[in-house]
Amino acid sequence: MKRRNRSLARRSIGLAGLPNVTAALATTALISTALAGCASGTGAASSSSNSESEPVSVFAAASLTDVLPQLEDAFTRSHPGAESVEFTENLAGSQTLVQHINEGAQPDVLITADAASIQALDTPDAFVNQGILATNELVLAVPSDSDVTTSGEFLQLLSANPDTRVATCAPSVPCGRATETFLEAQNLNLATVSEEADVRSVLSKVIAGEVDGGFVYATDAQSAGDSVKSVQLPDAPSNKYPILTSTDAATEAQDFGAWLRGEQAQEILLDAGFETTSQRP
Q: Which segments are annotated as binding site for molybdate?
A: 63, 94, 199, 217
Annotated binding-site residue numbers: 63, 94, 199, 217
Alpha-carbon span 90 to 118, nearest angstrom: 16
Q: Which of 170, 163, 171, 259 lies closest to 213, judged by CA?
A: 163
Q: Are residues 219 and 274 in contact, defined by beta-carbon separation less than 8 angstroms?
A: yes
Give 246's strand partners.
Answer: 127
Fill in the amino acid letter for 62.
Answer: A
Alpha-carbon span 115 to 243, nearest angstrom: 10
126 burial via Cβ count (<10 Å: 0-12, 13-18, 19+)? middle
Alpha-carbon span 170 to 90, nearest angstrom: 19
SS3 142: strand
